[in-house]
C-alpha cells in the first residue's frame, strides 16, 4: 500500500460498518416530552463554557456561587466553576430531603440470594451522615484518601458519599482485583482507611474479599490505620485487632447528625485507577463541581430521566467509572430511583435480569454490549418470558456495539419481544474513565439513531476525528478521536504524575485531548467508534479493525461471540486470528471454519478473512466486560498466556487451552 495515511487505512477497513442504512427517528410522542430538545445543541454551540455554567447552576446547589466558568490558563490542567463551593453528598442527598423528596426511593437493593433492602432519600442521607461521623472518628479528614474494596452493595455508595461529604478522596478498587493490585493502589494513593466486606455472593456461592485485604496489608510499610469491614455474607474471617473494625460496630452507633461542609469546586472527589498500555495503572483524578455537573446533565439528557417516575438501572459495578458516574453520583444528584443488583445475570437462572426489570418496573436500563451478546447467546425466549413493557430507554457503554446486538437489544428488550409499536430508543454512549461522563451519544427524542454508531457529541462537547497531522478528516474517512475543547468532567490529572498526564493525553496533537480510540465519520458526519487504536491490525498494509471483523463474524447465525486479534506474521506483518463461540447447533458442523472465513470475506473483503478461526468455549473478559485481547494474542502467537489476574473468570484461559488441544 502506498497511501499509509490513517484516513486511507481506516477507509479501506470499515466500509462494512458504514453501509448501515437503518435509522430510527424518535416517535412523536417520545420527542414531545423528552428532556433534551433540539435547542440544547444551539444553546451549547452559542454559549461555550457559559452553557456549562448555566447547567452547573440549574442542576446543582452551590453554597457559594462561582465567579468564572472555566480557567484554562494552565492548560491542560483545567479549573471549572472557579471560586464556587459545594458539597457533593449534600447535592446527592440532603437537599432532596429538605425539598420534600425524602420519602422517594433512592435505592432498591437486590442481593444475589434474593435479599432486598430499600433506602428512601431520607434513610440514605441518615446512613451517609453516620458513615461520615464514623470515618471522622477513625481519623479521616479532608483530603485523606480512602480505599474502597467492596462488593456491589449499598454500603459501597454510602462509603463513597460519606467520603465526599467530609472531603476525603475515595479510591475504589474493583473487588475482582488481586491483593497485589489492591496494595499497589493503596500505596500509590497513600490511603489511611480501607473499607471492605467479609465478601459477597457470586454464582450462588459466598465469595471472599477480606482475605485479599489481609494479604495486601501483610507486608509492612503501608499507610493504612484502619480497615472497616461490612458483614455481608457472614463467612468466617481472620481478624487483625490492630487494624480491623466491623462496620456495624462503628457506623451503626455513630450519630446521624452531620453538617456537610462546602468544598471548593476543584476539591478532589476521587481517584480511579485504570490500566495504561504499559507501566503501572494510572490514578485518574476527578474533582467536584465539574464532575457532578456533566455526569448529572448527561444522566438527565442522554437517558431522558424523569426522576419522579423512572426506575433506573445501571448494571455496572462500583469498581468501574460507570459505577461512579452513573450509579453513585448522577442518579442521586438528580433525585432518581435506582436499582442496585449484587450478583451475576445467570444466578439462579438466566432470566434473573429480566425478572428484576419486571419486578421493579425498570424504565431505563444501562448496560454493556458484552452483556447483551451473552443474553443473545442464551436465546431470546428467556427475556420473552418476562414483561419488559416498563422499559423506555436503553443505554450501551464500554465497547462498540455491533449492529446485530443493537438490533437484538432494540427488538427483544426495547420492544418487549416485538409487542411495542415504538421500541425504546438505544443510546450508545462513548466516554472513558478520563472523560468522567458521556461525550458522544445520541439524545433520545432528538437524534434518529443508527445501529452501531455513537453518532454525535453531547451538547457542549467538541470532538472530532483527525488524521496523523491532527487535521480533521472528511466525512467517509477514519482516523483518531480527539476532544477539542476542555469539558467540565475531564480528568484533572494522573495522581502524583502530572508529566504522565501531559504525555499520555496531550502530546500526540497540539491543544487536543487524544482519546486513544480510532473512529470514523460516515457520510452524515456521524461518529463510529472502532476500538482502541492499539486494537487496529495491519495486514499487508491494510488497516483492519478487530471490531469490524468481530462484527462480521457475529452477524453469522452460527456465531454467538467473537474476538479477533492480530498475530505477528513474517510475511503480512500481522495475520487475523479469530476466536469464536458457536451457537448450539453449529457445534456439529465440520465445515464451520470454512463457512465463517468465507462469510467474513463476503462481508468485508478477502483481506479480512481470518488466517485461523479457533472455536473456544469462552472468551477472556474483565469484570467490566472488555475482552482481554492481549491474552488471546499470546495464544495466537503460541506463547504462554500472560497475567490473567484481572479476568472475571480466571479459568477461562485454561478452558481455551484445553479446547485447543483436542
Ligand atoms: C466508560 C468506559 C474507555 C474505553 C474507550 C473505548 C471504549 C467505551 C464505548 C467504547 C465504543 C462506546 N468504549 N464506551 N467504545 N463505543 N460506546 O467504558 O470507560 O473503562 O475507561 O474505557 O472503552 O475504547 O476508550 P473505560
C-alpha span between 219 and 240 (Å, rounded)? 13
532 alpha carbon – ligand 1 mean position (Å): 9
Q: What integer pLDDT is reported at residue 530 of this predicted model?
A: 83
Going by C-beta distance under 8 Å and a sequence separation of 6 or more, which residues neighbour residue 576?
Answer: 537, 539, 544, 549, 564, 565, 566, 567, 608, 609, 610, 611
pLDDT bucket at 275, cuts 50 / 70 / 90: low
**Ligand 1 neighbour 517 (Cβ under 6 A):** yes
Q: Partners of 109 in the beta sheet?
A: 117, 340
User: What is the pLDDT at residue 541?
Assistant: 61
Q: What SS3 class is residue 203?
A: coil
Is residue 163 within 6 Å of ligand 1 at its C-beta? no
User: In this model, does residue 5 exceed pLDDT 50?
Assistant: no
- Specify the DSSP element, H or E, that contains 355: helix 352-360
Q: CA quadruple 326, 328, 332, 338: dihedral positive or negative?
A: positive
Count CB-CB contacts under 10 A for residue 248: 11
Q: Give the model's confidence band at 16: pLDDT under 50 very low, under 70 low, under 90 confident, else very high.
A: low
| Mean pLDDT (the chain, rounded) | 92
The CA-based angle 417-420-422, given to 5 degrees, is 125
Q: What is the pTM of this model?
A: 0.86
Element (H, E) at 358: helix 352-360
What pLDDT, on a 0 to 100 scale, did the predictor assign at position 17?
A: 55
CB 603 within 8 A of CB 16: yes
Say if residue 76 is preceded by a cis peptide, omega within 30 of 0: yes
Report the nearest-CA residue for atom 22 of ligand 1.
Answer: 432
For 362, counting Cβ atoms within 10 Å of its Cβ (0-12 exposed, 13-18 middle, 19+ buried), the class is buried
pLDDT at residue 443 greater than cutoff 90? yes
| Nearest one of 88, 93, 116 to 106, comparing CA atoms | 93
Q: Give the lowest-confidence range in 129-138, 145-154, 595-604.
A: 595-604
* 91 and 289 Cβ atoms separated by less than 8 Å: no
Binding site as annotated, residues for ATP: 398-400, 428-433, 517, 532, 543
Please give the radius of gyration of the chain, using alpha carbons only, rounded to the nearest integer. 24
Query: Which atom in ligand 1 lies closest to the alpha carbon of residue 454?
Result: 17
Q: How far is the CA of 222 from the centre of ligand 1 (A)?
A: 33
CA of 430 to the centre of ligand 1 (A): 6
Residue 139: which region, alpha, beta or left (left: phi > 0; alpha: psi -120 to 50)?
left
Distances (CA, A) of 562 to 547, 552, 578: 9, 9, 7
Q: Are 434 and 274 in contact (CB under 8 A)?
A: yes
Q: How far is CA 498 from CA 208, 366, 501, in A?
A: 36, 33, 5
pLDDT above 90 (res 650) = no
Going by CA atoms, what residue is nearest to atom 8 of ligand 1?
398
Residue 201 pLDDT level (bands cut at 50, 70, 90): very high
Confidence of residue 8 (pLDDT cuts 50, 70, 90): very low
Would you say residue 278 has pLDDT above 50? no
Nearest CA to ligand 1 atom 5: 432
CB 252 within 8 A of CB 130: yes
3-class SS at 201? strand
User: Which of the listed residues 302, 320, 321, 397 should we mutate to test ligand 1's pocket, taking the one with most ligand atoms within 8 A of CB?
Assistant: 397
Q: Could you tell me the pLDDT band of residue 272, with boundaries at 50, 70 and 90?
A: very high
Cα-based distances in Å from 261 to 57, 77, 86, 101, 251: 19, 25, 8, 22, 20
Distance CA 59, CA 290 (A): 11
Which residue, 429, 428, 475, 432, is CA-closest to 452? 428
pLDDT value of residue 322: 96
pLDDT of residue 348: 96
Is the pLDDT at 255 greater than 90? The verdict is yes
Cα 626 to middle of ligand 1, angstroms: 9
Residue numbers belonging to the annotated binding site for Mg(2+): 554, 556, 559
How does pLDDT run across 321-330, given as a tens digit for each residue?
999 999 999 9
Cβ count within 10 A of residue 58: 11
Helices (H) and strands (E) in the chain, counts: 23, 30
Q: In the prediction, which pLDDT does 651 show?
A: 86
Task: Using alpha carbons, list the distances in angstroms from residue 243 to 196, 224, 225, 227, 421.
Answer: 12, 8, 6, 6, 58
Average pLDDT over residues 260-278: 87
Give yes or no for residue 189 CB within 6 A of ligand 1.
no
pLDDT score at 562: 95
Q: What is the mean pLDDT of residues 302-316?
A: 98
- DSSP 8-class letter at 444: T
Question: What local confidence, expressed as pLDDT, does residue 276 receive?
Answer: 52
What is the spatial distance between Cα 48 and Cα 485, in angstroms, rounded to a whole number? 9
Cβ neighbours, 10 Å, residue 198? 20
DSSP letter string, 380-399: TTTGGGS--TT--EEEEESS
C-alpha of residue 517 to centroid of ligand 1, in Å: 9
Q: What's the pLDDT at 534?
A: 63
Residue 348 phi, psi (nearest 5): -80, -5
Whether 1 has a pLDDT exceeding 60, the answer reads no
User: What separation in Å is there between the alpha carbon of 662 and the centre of ligand 1?
Assistant: 35
Question: Among candidates 500, 483, 395, 393, which has minimal Cα distance to 436?
Answer: 483
Looking at per-residue pLDDT, the higher value among 603 and 51 belongs to 51
Q: Are 37 and 304 in contact (CB under 8 A)?
A: no
Say if ligand 1 is within 6 A of residue 317 CB: no
Can you say whether residue 638 is alpha, beta or left, with left for phi > 0 and alpha for psi between -120 and 50 degrees? left
Q: In the structure, what pLDDT confidence band is assigned to residue 11 with cuts at 50, 70 and 90?
A: very low
Residues 6+ away with beta carbon under 8 Å from 273: 171, 173, 185, 188, 281, 282, 283, 284
Q: Is the pLDDT of residue 120 over 80?
A: yes
Whether pLDDT at 94 is above 60 = yes
Which ligand 1 atom sits closest to the C-alpha of 441? 17
Tell me, what's the pLDDT at 181? 80
pLDDT at site 19: 62
User: Could you tell me the CA-to-CA distances from 546 to 30, 408, 496, 577 in Å, in that order?
Assistant: 36, 21, 34, 10
Task: Give the mean pLDDT of 631-648.
Answer: 85
Query: Each residue of 470-493: pLDDT tens digit?
Result: 999 999 999 999 999 999 999 999
Closest ligand 1 atom, CA of 434?
Answer: 21
Q: Is the CB of 275 under 6 A from ligand 1?
A: no
Q: Is the CB of 428 under 6 A from ligand 1?
A: yes
Kindly state if the Cβ of 314 falls inside 6 Å of ligand 1: no
Would you say the CB of residue 416 lies under 6 angstroms from ligand 1? no
- Residue 465 three-state SS: strand
- Residue 545's contacts (CB-CB under 8 Å, 6 or more residues apart) are 10, 13, 14, 518, 530, 531, 535, 536, 537
Known binding positions: 202-205, 322, 398-400, 428-433, 517, 532, 540, 543, 554, 556, 559
Question: 295 with 314: CB under 8 angstroms?
Answer: no
Quote the CA–CA distance of 412 and 428 in Å, as a whole number: 17
Contact 400 CB / ligand 1 (< 6 Å): yes
Q: Per-residue pLDDT tens for 346-394? A: 999 999 999 999 999 999 999 998 889 889 989 999 999 999 999 999 9
Give the count of beta carbons closer than 10 Å to the beta carbon of residue 174. 22
Nearest atom (ligand 1) to Cα of 515: 25
Binding residues for CoA: 202-205, 322, 540
- Pocket test of ligand 1: the residue of 430, 453, 489 to mutate, having most ligand atoms within 8 Å of its CB, is 430
State the pLDDT at residue 277. Answer: 44
Q: Are 215 and 179 in contact (CB under 8 A)?
A: yes
CB of residue 513 inside a 6 A radius of ligand 1: no
Task: Reduce the DSSP state of residue 36 to 3 states and report it.
Answer: coil
Amino acid at each position: 500500500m502506498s497511501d499509509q495515511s490513517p484516513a486511507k487505512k481506516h477507509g479501506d477497513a470499515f466500509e462494512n460498518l458504514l453501509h448501515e442504512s437503518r435509522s430510527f427517528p424518535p416517535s412523536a410522542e417520545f420527542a414531545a416530552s423528552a428532556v433534551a430538545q433540539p435547542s440544547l445543541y444551539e444553546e451549547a454551540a452559542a454559549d461555550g463554557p457559559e452553557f456549562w455554567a448555566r447547567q452547573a447552576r440549574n442542576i446543582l446547589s452551590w453554597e457559594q456561587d462561582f465567579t468564572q466558568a472555566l480557567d484554562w490558563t494552565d492548560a491542560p490542567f483545567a479549573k471549572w466553576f472557579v471560586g464556587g463551593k459545594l458539597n457533593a453528598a449534600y447535592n446527592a442527598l440532603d437537599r432532596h430531603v429538605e425539598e420534600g423528596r425524602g420519602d422517594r426511593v433512592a435505592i432498591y437493593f437486590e442481593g444475589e440470594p434474593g435479599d432486598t433492602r430499600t433506602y428512601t432519600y431520607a434513610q440514605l442521607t441518615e446512613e451517609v451522615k453516620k458513615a461520615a461521623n464514623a470515618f471522622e472518628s477513625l481519623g479521616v479528614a479532608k483530603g485523606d484518601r480512602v480505599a474502597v474494596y467492596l462488593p456491589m452493595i449499598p454500603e459501597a455508595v454510602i462509603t463513597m458519599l460519606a467520603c465526599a461529604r467530609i472531603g476525603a478522596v475515595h479510591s475504589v478498587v474493583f473487588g475482582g482485583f488481586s491483593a497485589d493490585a489492591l496494595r499497589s493502589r493503596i500505596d500509590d494513593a497513600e490511603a489511611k482507611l480501607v473499607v471492605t466486606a467479609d465478601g459477597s455472593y457470586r454464582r450462588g456461592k459466598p465469595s471472599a474479599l477480606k482475605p485479599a485485604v489481609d494479604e495486601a496489608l501483610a507486608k509492612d510499610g503501608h499507610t493504612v490505620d484502619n480497615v472497616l469491614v461490612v458483614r455481608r455474607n457472614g463467612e468466617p474471617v481472620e481478624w487483625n485487632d490492630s487494624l480491623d473494625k466491623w462496620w456495624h460496630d462503628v457506623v451503626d452507633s455513630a450519630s446521624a447528625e452531620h453538617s456537610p461542609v462546602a468544598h471548593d469546586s476543584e476539591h478532589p472527589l476521587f481517584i480511579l485507577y485504570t490500566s495504561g498500555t504499559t507501566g503501572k495503572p494510572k490514578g485518574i483524578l476527578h474533582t467536584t463541581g465539574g464532575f457532578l455537573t456533566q455526569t448529572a446533565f448527561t444522566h438527565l439528557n442522554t437517558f431522558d430521566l424523569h426522576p419522579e417516575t423512572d426506575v433506573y438501572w445501571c448494571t455496572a459495578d462500583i469498581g468501574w467509572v460507570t459505577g461512579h458516574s452513573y450509579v453513585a453520583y448522577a442518579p442521586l444528584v438528580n433525585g432518581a430511583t435506582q436499582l442496585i443488583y449484587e450478583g451475576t445475570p445467570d444466578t439462579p437462572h438466566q432470566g434473573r435480569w429480566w425478572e428484576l426489570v419486571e419486578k421493579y418496573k425498570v424504565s431505563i436500563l444501562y448496560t454493556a454490549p458484552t452483556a447483551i451478546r451473552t443474553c443473545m447467546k442464551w436465546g431470546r425466549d428467556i427475556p420473552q418470558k418476562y414483561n419488559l413493557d416498563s422499559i423506555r430507554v436503553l443505554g450501551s457503554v464500554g465497547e462498540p456495539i455491533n449492529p446485530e446486538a443493537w438490533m437484538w437489544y432494540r427488538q427483544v428488550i426495547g420492544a418487549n419481544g416485538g409487542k411495542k409499536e415504538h421500541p425504546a430508543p438505544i443510546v450508545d454512549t462513548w466516554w472513558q474513565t478520563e472523560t468522567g461522563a458521556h461525550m458522544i451519544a445520541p439524545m433520545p427524542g432528538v437524534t434518529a439513531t443508527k445501529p452501531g454508531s455513537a453518532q454525535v457529541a453531547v451538547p457542549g462537547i467538541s470532538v472530532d476525528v483527525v488524521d496523523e497531522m491532527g487535521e480533521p478528516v472528511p466525512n467517509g474517512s477514519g482516523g483518531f478521536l480527539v476532544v477539542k475543547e476542555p469539558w467540565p468532567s475531564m480528568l484533572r490529572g494522573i495522581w502524583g504524575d502530572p508529566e504522565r498526564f501531559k504525555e499520555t493525553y496531550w502530546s500526540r496533537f497540539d491543544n487536543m485531548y487524544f482519546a486513544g480510540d480510532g473512529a470514523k465519520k460516515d457520510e452524515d458526519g456521524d461518529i463510529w467508534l472502532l476500538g482502541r487504536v492499539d486494537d487496529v491490525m495491519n495486514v499487508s498494509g491494510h488497516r483492519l479493525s478487530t471490531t469490524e471483523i468481530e462484527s462480521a463474524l457475529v452477524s453469522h447465525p452460527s456465531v454467538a461471540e467473537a474476538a479477533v486479534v492480530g498475530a505477528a506474521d513474517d510475511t503480512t506483518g500481522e495475520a487475523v486470528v479469530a476466536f469464536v463461540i458457536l451457537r448450539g447447533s453449529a457445534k456439529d458442523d465440520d465445515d464451520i471454519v470454512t463457512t465463517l472465513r468465507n462469510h467474513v470475506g463476503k462481508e468485508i473483503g478477502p483481506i479480512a478473512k481470518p488466517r485461523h478461526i479457533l472455536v473456544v468455549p469462552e472468551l477472556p473478559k474483565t469484570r467490566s466486560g472488555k475482552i482481554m485481547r492481549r491474552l488471546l494474542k499470546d495464544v495466537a502467537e503460541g506463547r504462554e498466556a500472560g497475567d490473567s489476574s484481572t479476568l472475571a473468570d480466571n479459568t477461562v484461559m485454561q478452558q481455551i487451552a484445553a479446547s485447543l488441544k483436542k
